A and B are shown apart, each in its own frame.
Chain A
C-alpha cells in the first residue's frame, strides 16, 4: 500500500466512449502526476499539478483532460481515444512545494486501459 489509490484497475473502452480515471492520495502531498507507461518505452509524464494548479502539460493530446479538484484527488477524463492510447496509466504524488520536495514519487498501481 503506497497511499495512492487508482480506480478502475482495468478499463476497456471503444473509441467513441467517454470514461474517467480516478486517483486519490492519502499522504498529505501537494503535487500529483499522471504518467503513461507503454511497453519498452520510458515512463511518459503527462500532467503535473502543484497545489491544485496545473504546472506542466507535456504536449498531451486534448482527448486527455485532467482535473484536480483538491490536493488529494486527480482525475483523467478520456474521450475519443485511439487504439495507440492503450497503456498503463499511473498516478503519482510527491510532497511538492519546490525545495521541500524530496524528489520521491509515490505511484499508484495503475489503471490498465485498452482502447478497441
Chain B
C-alpha cells in the first residue's frame, strides 16, 4: 500500500497559534518523510524533511514529529503567521531519492490575522 493519508483537508488558525497537520502511511519501507509548502500560483517547495532515525526535527517555527510505531508523522507550525497561509503536502519515500515520493492530498492552511 503506497498511500499517504493527510488530514485535515483544510485548517484555519489564528495568528500566533499552533498549526498541526497529520499524515499516516502503511508502507513500512518508507524511510524519508518530507513536507512541501505551496503558495498560490507557485510550485511546491521543500519545507522540512525527516528520516526515521530521529523522532523530531525542528527548523525555526516548523517541527516534524515522527512516530515510527504508529506510522504517523506530523507538521507543527508554532506562532503561525499570515505568511504561512499556503497548501502543505506531506510525502513519503524510500531510499532517500526523490523519484519514489508518494504525496498526501494536501492541507489548505489559512492563518487569520
Contacts and interface: CB of A to CB of B under 8 A. Distances in A.
Interface string A82-116: 00000000101011101101111111111000000
A101 B99 CA distance: 9
Contacts of B105: 40-42
Interface residues of A, number: 30
Contacts, number: 71
Interface stretch (A12-20, A43-51, A61-69, A70-78): A43-51
A43 B103 contact: yes
Contacts of A101: 96-99
A42 B43 contact: no
Contacts of B49: 103-104
B96 A42 contact: no
Contact of A105 (B4, B42, B46, B104): B46
A42 B96 CA distance: 20
B27 interface: no
Interface string B28-59: 00001010100001111110010000000000
B99 A107 contact: no
A103 B32 contact: yes
Interface in B44-82: 44-46, 49
B111 interface: no
Given A98-B97, A110-B43, 4 more contacts: A42-B102, A45-B99, A92-B98, A103-B98
- Sorted nearest first, the 3 A-B pairs with minimum C-beta distance are A107-B43, A94-B98, A43-B103
11 contacts: A43-B44, A45-B99, A55-B99, A90-B44, A92-B43, A99-B96, A103-B101, A104-B49, A105-B44, A109-B42, A110-B43
